Amino acid sequence: MNSFFERRYIIAGIFIAFILLLLGRLFYIQVVDDRYALYASQNVIRKMIQYPARGPILDRNGKIMVQSDIIYDIMVIPKQVTPFDTIEFCKLLGIDKAGYDKRMAKARKYSPYRASVFEKQLSPQLYATFQERLSEFVGFFPQQRPVRSYPDSAAAQFLGYIGEVTDPIIKRSGGYYSPGDYIGISGVERSYETVLRGQRGVLNKMVDSRNQPKGSYANGAFDTVAVAGEKLVSSLDMTIQKLGEELMRNKIGSIVAIEPSTGEILCFVSSPTYDPNLLVGKQRGNNAAALYKDPYKPFFVRPVQALYPPGSSFKPLSALIAMQEGMITPQTVYVCPGYYQAGNRRIPCFHHEVHGAVNLSSAIAHSCNGYFDMVFEKLVNRFGTRNVDTGYGAWRNNVAKFGLGTRLDLDLPGESRGLLPKADYYDKMYRKGGWRSSTVISLGIGQGELSATPLQLANIEAIIANRGFYYKPHLIKAIGDKRIIKKEYTVRNYVGVDSGYFRYAIDGMQQVVDVGTANGSKIPGIVMCGKTGTAQITNQKDNSVFVAFAPRDNPKIAIAVIVEKSGQGATWAAPIASFIVEKYLTGKISTRASGIFPEYYMNANLLPPVVLTATEKRQRHVDSLKKAQVDSLSKLKLKAAANQQVPGAPKGKQPLSQPTAMLPKRKDNE
């Protein structure tokens, strides 16, 4: 009897333990482990992310610069995939079996139970073919995504590009972005990402085990609608933007043009550039890799990242500061003997020209180095030669008010400050008390350690055009239909120079174009005030620099043009700037008395030779040997043809090793 009761308790205990084990397992499956819930729910309900169209970007006249097109990603849930004809599947997508295996392994690593991107950016045409047989491939489904298209293939560095999010971006976003999502990587696409991206929606669909849709879940009660991104109206004028890119073709440099009355940027050329459509579609990765390897760096945004010595374009600024500080008057005369004596140094004017007696305006017109060396020494030595660091600090503070040595807070990432050295910079270089105004006198004519971005140079011209103030330069003039603009772009920034002094500097700048170094770029019927510059680079050919604004009264455009390693400012930069200015103001380019015409500058190739590393030289040598072995005969024929004149080519159209400038070299000091 006792043993019966004992066995009964043992059997009951076994049953209770078994029941508890089942309950525990059931709790684990339903509450702790979500794999089965995910697998089951995705057999019934599929949450389809609805990606909104990114907001379009227009130019100032309403012309579309970038818009959104629809492409398709093929998504996969690895655990749902059943056996199918992988060869036929690969053929439909244009991939091979190795590519299939690689993609599937990546999807399994991400999650066997969650959807991830298997193949990106199928065109609507390719997707249409694939869709007809989608039901054969259980576990795969399409996902619509918007991508960018660029009707004019222009303004690449301004617009930037979008790309797939990386793990760090996903982490920083707090879960907003998921693998496979796209985000603005550079340019305006990056600066205005939160405005352009819109708001994603969710579509809950019922599907069967064969991947066939069976309608909306709960009649769409849990769906959310995608909201398209906001429209951006840029300040660019695509007419002069495209003209600028054509004029700068096969050259290294930049064009920045600003509307002085608003700070809106009208032209933003970085050269060499690239077609932004190359960074869209299935070949995006290959195209991007080729662009990154390009020795001329097309991804480098030269208007805000390249640094150049201003050269003689800096001289009007020096004159304005000196007048404001009472160091000179407009009538102050300097007798130029062809050089300037700074301490025990004799600094020659350009080509040793003897300018004779010059005042402020004529010194600007003829770009007399001696006059502005004199001005710089007066400013820096104003507190005595033993207090040069104090005088230099005061000079630097005045220059900084014009936007040099600091970011202008452009609505674009990656803006450089430039270099406007402080006194302690020279203390470290020469020791404290070990330098004088004559040591750094090259700063007075925009040389030495001074460097600026093209944007900063154009902004200085806007300041002169406005007679003493500027609005912060910006690239977006309106957001959405409400035409919102950032308040900071409506505030005047004064530089601390009385407006009355600007007349005398402007007189000299007008003479530069009317009768001086830039006379060959004079525009019929338009008074343009400018300053040429030949910025010297150690052991390299000079940069051609030209800054200007027009017309003189009620200016509409201020511009800076830099053409690297091309020589004098009057020969390349000034003509290019004059074509941009005239096109913007009149809508056409007229015949010039000097005979210059745009097509010559468009066709000129000023790209410097590529400097190769030792490794690159070895690789090129190996490649050339291979090519010679494969087709030595063709190589000899091509070499012979290259040394001959092209038959029937009109005069002036023969191949040139180095283009010559249309305008003669000027003897005036730049």
Q: What is the pLDDT of residues 488-532, one digit of tens each?
A: 999 999 999 999 999 999 999 999 999 988 999 999 999 999 999
- Rounded to whole angstroms, the Cα distance separating 548 from 529 reads 5
From residue 460, how far is each of 243, 253, 269, 507, 554 by CA, in Å?
Answer: 23, 18, 18, 16, 16
Burial readout 93-119 (b: 16 or more C-beta within 10 A, e: otherwise): bebeeeebeebeeebeebeebbbbbbb
Q: What confidence score (pLDDT) does residue 36 get?
A: 56
Task: Please list the residues that pair with 72 across neighbouring strands.
Answer: 122, 144
Look at residue 605 in the predicted model and tell me its pLDDT: 95
Looking from the CA of 602 toward its CB, the CA atoms found within 13 Å total: 10
Mean residue pLDDT of the chain comes to: 87
**Position 222 pLDDT exceeds 80:** no
Alpha-carbon torsion (424, 430, 436, 440), positive or negative: negative
Residues 203-217: tens digit of each pLDDT: 887 766 555 666 777
Cα 26 vs. chain centroid, distance in angstroms? Answer: 58
Amino acid at 70: I
* Single-letter residue type at 315: K
Q: Domain 238-603, CATH 3.50.50.60 — does that match? A: no
What is d(CA 408, CA 402) in angstroms, rounded to the nearest whole number?
A: 10
Position 656 scores a pLDDT of 41
Please report which helix (H) or strand (E) contains residue 477, including its range: strand 476-479
* pLDDT for 120: 86
> What secondary structure letter does DSSP report for 151?
T
Task: Give me the pLDDT at residue 633, please.
Answer: 57
Q: What percent of the chain has pLDDT over 90?
A: 59
Where are the chain's structural domains? 2-33, 46-234, 238-603
Q: Which is it for the CA torsion 376, 382, 388, 394, positive or negative?
A: negative
Separation CA 549–CA 464 (nearest Å): 8
CB 518 within 8 A of CB 546: yes
Q: What is the pLDDT of residues 104-143, one digit of tens each?
A: 999 999 888 888 889 988 888 888 888 888 888 988 988 8
CA-CA distance, 151 to 362, in Å (whole number)? 48
pLDDT at 626: 65
- Nearest Cα neighbor of 73 from 163, 148, 165, 142 is 142
Return the residue matching tokens 């990386």: 166
Q: Which residue has the higher pLDDT, 79 or 39?
A: 79
Both tokens of residue 394?
């005061």
What is the pLDDT, as a whole number, of residue 41?
A: 52
Q: Which of 20-29, 141-150, 194-203, 421-430 has maximum average pLDDT?
A: 421-430
Please give the pLDDT value at position 649: 39
DSSP alpha helix (H) spans, 515-644? 573-586, 598-603, 614-642
pLDDT, tens digit (0-9, with 9 covering 90-100), for 66-85: 999 888 889 999 988 989 99
Q: What are phi and psi of 661, to 5 degrees?
A: -70, 145
Q: Could you say which of 3.30.70.1060, 3.90.1310.10, 3.30.750.24, 2.50.20.10 is the CATH number of the domain covering 46-234?
A: 3.90.1310.10
Tokens of 348: 């020659």
Express each pLDDT in 279-298 by its tens digit: 988 788 899 999 999 999 99
H/E stretch holding 184 reads strand 182-184
Alpha-carbon distances of 57 from 40, 186, 457, rounded to whole Å = 43, 15, 26
Distance from C-alpha of 59 to C-alpha of 158, rounded to nearest angstrom: 12
| pLDDT tens profile 355-409 | 899 999 999 998 899 999 999 999 999 999 889 999 999 999 999 999 999 999 9
* Cα distances (Å, whole numbers) of residue 503 to 65, 270, 381, 403: 39, 32, 26, 21
Q: What is the mean predicted confidence (pLDDT) over 411-427?
A: 94
Identify whether the C-beta of residue 310 lies closer than 8 Å to the C-beta of residue 670: no
Question: Given CA atoms 666, 667, 668, 670 in this order, what sign does their dihedral have?
Answer: positive
Q: What is the pLDDT of residues 260-286, one digit of tens each?
A: 999 999 999 999 999 999 998 878 889
Collapsing DSSP to helix, strand or coil, 612 comes out as: coil
Averaged over 181-198, what is the pLDDT? 92
Shortest CA distance to 512 belongs to which of 473, 549, 469, 562? 549
Q: CA-to-CA distance for 373 and 628, rounded, in angstroms?
A: 57
Residue 42 has pLDDT above 60, yes or no: no
State pLDDT tens for residues 580-638.
Answer: 999 999 999 999 999 999 999 999 999 988 876 666 667 666 666 666 665 665 555 55
